Each structure stands twice: as C-alpha cells, then as structure tokens.
Structure 1
C-alpha cells in the first residue's frame, strides 16, 4: 500500500544500502545480530551443492539459485550439530536473514556476498538438546523484500548429512503488494500478515509473491514497470535488483518446481486505486480477473480468497473514521460474484500471463473464489505513519484470516508452538501498581 507520492521512491531509496537497524516508533531498537561469517578453510565439512535434492526451496528462486519476492527460504533436515551456508556473489550485501533449528525461536544475521556463514554449531543454544522430532530441521528465510540471497553450497559437519524433508500437507500462495510483503513492519517479510498466515497455519508450505508499490494492472506504479497481472508469472519481482540481474528478459516461473497451491490469497489493488497511478476501475477489474484466471490455469484445484482492500484512517471531530471507500469496493465484490456465477462455472476461462492468451476449460462443479471482508479488523492505531500495518496490525489481519480459512475450508490450525512473529513476547507481571 503506497498511498502518497513520497512513498513512490521508498523502494528505490532502500536499495542504496542494507542496514541492521530497526526503528521502533522513531527509536532504534536494540538488536544483537550475531556475526556468523567464517573462514571456510578452517573447518572440515561435508558439502552439498546448491542443487542437492535434500534442499527444499521455499518461495521463488531463479535458475542460479537467487531468491526473489518476500520471505523466500530453504528448509532441510540434517544430522550432527553444524550447518553452514556459502552464499553466492549475487547476494545483496548485508541482507538480513532469519534462521532457526527445530522449533526454536528465530535468530538473525547479516549476510556477506560470496562468504560462508556458520549458522549452527555445537555452541548454538539448543543444538545439543534431544529432539522429539527427527531429524533436526533447519530453516532460513530472507527478511528484506527488496533484497535476496544466492545459495552456493550447504555444509554440515564432516561425516554428517542433509536429509530431504517431505513437503507439508498443505500449500498456500499469497499474491500482493507492500501490505503482504511486510513493508515497514519490524522484520519486513517475517513480520507480515502474509507470513503470519502461512506460518500460523502449521503443517503448511507458503510462498509470498508480493512487492511494494506494484499494481494489479500491467503498468508502471511507483517505479514498478509491470503489474501483477504480468509479473506473477515470472520468477523475479519488479525491483531494480531484478532489472540488473535479468534486464528485459526475466525468467518465466516454472510452476512445476513446487507442488500446486491448495489455497491462494489475493490482496492487490491498493496501488491501483491511488489517483497518482491513474488506473481506472475497469482496467483494475480486468487485471484482477486475469490474475484469478491465471491462478486457475496454473492450479485448477486451488481455492482462491480475494481480500477486500483497506485504506487508512482520518480524524473527524473527536474520533477516527476509515478513509473514503476508494478501494474498488464494488469491483472486488463484482469480480468475485462473476467467478461464482453459473454462467462462468459452466464456461470457466484461464489466462497465461506470459503468452497473454485466454482459453476455455472444463466446467467447475462449485464456486472456488471467496471474498474476505477486512472491514473492522484494524483501527487507526493499527496503521503506521506511512500507511502500512504496524506489527500489531499485521498480527490482527493474520489472526482474522486464519479463522476465516478455518471456518470456510475446514483447515485446522496445526501450528504446535514454535514462534511465528519474532520479538512480540511482551508481558507485565508487576502486581504492585
């Protein structure tokens, strides 16, 4: 959600350098990100190449094993008490990653391009504990939506091995803009509502194909040269980093790389509705329609949830009220109704954003597109000064959407206790006040 013109350059400004600083209401939050860079020659490792089948890539990664979009990651099982990763030269300098072993809390470190980082050792808290789940698991996620890493190799202790983890029982895809990408939340991708839904469901693999400033419509919006109606079909996002890596020839995304999504959540259109980008209601509705048709074409059995858009709040008199409903309210509702009409279910259409072709498919037996009404979930203090959800706002959206998914599709919440949102453990146990 980029609601004012000064945000148009936010993504470009952030590309200038990567910082480990987290601002909390204008104050620097105290962080202690461990320096994990090592001299690889000083260690004895068993090394796996980046294309090892034991490594599960989460989210979108290109043919050179570079990561894109929001919160991409890797997962694998391992034996021993050591995990190190060598990152390629295409890694964004200083990019912040979150990583963890088993079900323990996230840890964070800044990555050096072309270096090896020791992320698990016998000295890592918890690495020597016995595990009720075998094998030990390792997970890494990129936090910064504007940056990425390139995997070169994965190492474990000499004589130890990596173990391929089975895919989760369920798979969810989120398509969106800065609201889903986690812009302005503390840990960006790992503090976003989209991540909160994917990780909060438990036993679910998730991918967040979202980037700040992007429109649904295929036009320039806040410096993004293409819209999601086009870009969702490609491996990379619309960043300056992607233009440097691929020029005018980005890699189409190979949807066969990963299992089909069971559920797709679409939250796109906040940038389209901004008058700065001059997207008409008809153009937006057409783009949203084609995105849904594209999802249906790639994953015919997936259920789709379209989220109603939300904007900010303003003070009037002695209270706060939502901004005027400029968020294509009717277009979102009418698009969902069109997909669930008997006429469409009798003659559904798919769309290929690469070839830009539409085609008819077989009948659908029941409606597959659902509307999630976001009205009333957030209040004015859940939106930060730059018009994006605060950490608490993101948690509220995720919590409501989790319950909606449970009630609508019968998905049980199977998370068993491991941390989802980092550094939200605040409490007061002082009785004397």
Structure 2
C-alpha cells in the first residue's frame, strides 16, 4: 500500500515498543513473560533441523524467519514445550502460539533466550480430542521482525512428532495490505492470513512486505520489487541486508514443504504512487513477469489477480473508492488466458533474469477477483490500510470466491482465526 515515510517510521516505532493502538488509544496487552532458565528443567532437546519440525512460510538455512506470518508446527507428547531462540532473533518480537485449535496466546521473545510455551497448566494440554498427538503452532506476527530457532524442548522422556502437511496450499504475494500493516496483530490480522487459516485444512504462505512494488525498483526504501524478490528466501528489510548483505539465498522451490494450488497477487498500490515514478508500461511488464515466474515454478497452480483498492475519497455527499491499474490488470488476465500465451507459455526466473518457454501448452489458470463494494470508507484506517473489520470483510469475500470458483470447501469449524475480535453488547436498556 502507499504511505508516507513518516507513517512507515511511526509503524516501526510502534513495533519496537510492542504497543497496539486501538482507535488511537493504547490497548492493554499484558502478555506473559514466559522466559525460563533452561538449567532448571529436565528436557529432551531437538535442534532446529529436526525432521519432526515443519516450517511454514519462508525460513532460510540459518532457520531465520522472513516475510509475513511465518511459523512452525509440530506434534508433541507430554505437557511441556519450550523453544530456545537464536542470536539472530529480533528482540521483543511478538509471536502468537497455541496448541490444537485453542485461541492464540502472545508473548515477546528474546534473542538467546528459552521460552516455555506449554506447561501442565496450559488450557487443552490434557485433552486428546480431536488432536492426538497435540499439535503446537507458533507464528511470527511482525512483518518487519523475525526469529531464529535454535532448539525445541519437550519434557524428558517425551517426543516431538511430525505433523503431515495439509492437502491444499495457498500463497499470497503482496505488499503491506497482505502483510497486515496497521491491523492489530499484523500478520495474524491480515486478510491473507484470514483466508489461509479460515479455509481450514490448508497450508498458507504470505510472501508480502510493506512498501514493495511489483516493479523491480526502489519503492519506499525497498531496494527490489516482487518481480525479483519473490524468488528469494528473505524479504527486502533491514534485517535481510544485515544478515545476508548483497547475497541473499534464492528460495528453493523444490524443497518447500508443499506446492501452492492457488496463488493470490495483490500488488500495485505502491507502483501507482507517483512518489515511486513507476510507468504503466513498467508495471505491466513486471506484473506479467511475476505471473510467468509463478507459472514456471508452480505450473499447476491457479493464479488470482486482485483488483486494487486504494482508499476512498469524498465525492459529493458520499464517498467513492479509488482504483488503480484496473484496465491493465484485466488486460493481463486476458493475456494469460489467451491462445497466444497458452499455446506457447513463457516463464520468467527473477533470480537469473531469464525468460524461457514451457515444453507443453497450458490450460487457462488466471482469474480476476473484484474488490469493488467489499469495503466502505470507514473500513480504511487513518494510515490508508484496512481496519481489522476491513481485513475480515476482504478475507470473507475472497474465501467465498475461492469456494465458488475452485470448489474449495470451508472446513475450519471451530479454531480461532482472528484474535480479540469477539465483541458484543449485553446492555439492553439504552
């Protein structure tokens, strides 16, 4: 999404302080401090490369997390789970964690420290239905921050158990709108997470970072665009430049746990901002290359192109929704579903800057999702990004679009998706 450098800086300040603002007022959080002295416990310890641990999203070879809402999942026996975080963890990173389908809990983690996430007092730890063994899930909330996994611990005599991945997978490629910037729990309040987790029985990856363009150029301090960066493990953050310098790791598409069946793209709000000086031709070329890259890496995946929403403006005695690149996006969708492309499909590799032809023709694989009318002006916050309610509305509509278009049933029938959105009024006399 487009935003000023001042608002970007303020956003980072809020992250650093671990503060959640709710309509301009500080929300009470009181996250528990679960840091422990590992010497006081008798653990069975697994290193970060243990095959029982499934890493969700993009993690590099140092087991450092990147992009939005990366996480890990594993099963465990007993009633104890602790994790030691490596020195490349950003101090005070807020993580969400839970066992089974329980509600999310949150804590701030520290580099080099061990945190006790599950104990005998954790709700649900002694229940064996519907999950046995119990699955543990951890997700990084902050798009700008990350953690490094050093070790995972369970009680002495107990074990980690690998949880098989779900049968279907969805990936989101985007900017701050997909990353969850300015929503309450960022990555765990974004519309992308809401779709991925809300579908149920689905793996989800959110390869999104605020301020980034699809065009491969500097946008709001991001040195590269998604037409290039999507092919790499790390994002365009200051952490990436500190840890990897000028030689980031290419993402190993062959080794990722599952291959996406659906890829959703929401990119262009930063390209459309005049401050970034992106021409329409450059945008169309970069967007086309990104889809060619997706088709090359995931030849069986369906691609959803999202219509951009760019806030609202006062119009007479009401409001109207800003649009950007509307016809260009429709033309891109039409091109990829045309005989011209499908008879001789081209694929792009942003890591090597090369275009090649696929050996066989393709079937139509690109759809257009209209966002018109989903949100109204009060669903966009003062910093030009969706409120929690706005994100939920987009997630709900997109989930239904996926169900109707591809036949994906919504099978999440209980686990919490969006945290702290349970509001009600029980005052009857007003």
Q: TM-score, normalised by structure 1?
A: 0.97
Distance (whole Å) between structure 1 residues aligned to residue 271 and residue 169 of structure 2: 28
Offset from partner CA, 1:41-68 (integer Å, 9 cap, x none): 0000011110000000000000000000
Question: How do 1:207-222 and structure 2 match up within 5 A?
Answer: 207-222=205-220
Structure 1 residues not aligned, in runs of 5+ = none
Q: Partner residue of 2:248?
A: 250
Per the TM alignment, residue 8 of structure 1 is displaced from its structure 2 partner at its CA by 5.2
1:415 Cα deviation after fit: 0.7
Q: Secondary structure at the match of 1:256?
A: coil
Aligned equivalent of 1:359, options 356, 359, 369? 356
Aligned residues of 1:39 and 1:116 also touching (Cα < 8 A)? yes
- 8 Å contact from structure 1 (residues 64, 150) kept in 2: yes
Aligned residue in 1 for 2:312: 313
* Partner SS for 1:292: helix
- Match of residue 145, structure 1, among 143, 148, 155: 143
What's 2:276 paired with?
277
Query: What pairs with 1:377-396 in structure 2 (closer than 5 Å)?
Result: 377-396=374-393
SS of equivalent to 1:109: strand
SS in 2 for 1:238: coil
Return the alpha-carbon distance in structure 1 between the equivalents of residues 13 and 352 of structure 2: 33
CA distance in 2, matches of 1:297, 1:42: 51
Match 1:191 to one of 189, 192, 204: 189
Give the drift of 1:314: 1.5
The yes-or-no answer on 1:178 pairing with 2:176 is yes
Q: Is the 8 A contact 2:345 2:362 kept in 1?
A: no
> C-alpha distance in 2, partners of 1:311/1:134?
45
Q: What's the CA shift string for 1:52-90, capped at 9, x where partnerless? A: 000000000000000000000000011000000000000
Structure 1 residue 5 displacement after superposition: 5.1
SS of the equivalent of 1:209 reads: strand
**Which residue number in structure 1 is paired with residue 411 of structure 2?**
414
- Which of 132, 136, 156 is the aligned partner of 2:130? 132
How far apart, in 2, do the equivalents of 1:69 and 1:4 lie? Answer: 21
Unaligned stretches of 5+ in structure 2?
none
Deviations 1:168-224 (A, max 9, x none): 010111000000000000000000000001000100011000000000000000000
- Cα separation, 1, equivalents of 2:137 and 2:169: 17
| Contact preservation (8 Å) 1:180, 1:193 | yes
- What whole-Å deviation, never above 9, does each CA across 1:119-148 have from its counterpart, x for those lacking one? 000011222234222110100000000000
State how far apart, in whole Å, the 2-side matches of 1:130 and 1:78 are: 12
Structure 1 residue 363, shift from structure 2 partner: 3.7
Using the TM superposition, name which of 255-264 and 236-245 deviates more: 255-264
The CA deviation at 1:10 is 5.0
Q: Work out the CA distance in 1 between the residues paired with 2:311 and 2:268.
A: 14
For 2:231 and 2:242, the matched residues in 1 are separated by 19
Change (3 A) 1:7 1:432: closer
Change (3 A) 1:307 1:148: same
Q: Is the 8 A contact 1:85 1:118 kept in 2?
A: yes
Q: Judge conservation of contact 1:2–1:8 (CA < 8 Å) in 2.
A: no
Report how many residues are paired: 429
Q: Residues 173 and 264 of structure 2 are in contact (CA less than 8 Å); yes or no, is this contact kept in structure 1?
A: yes
TM-score by length of 2: 0.98
RMSD: 1.3
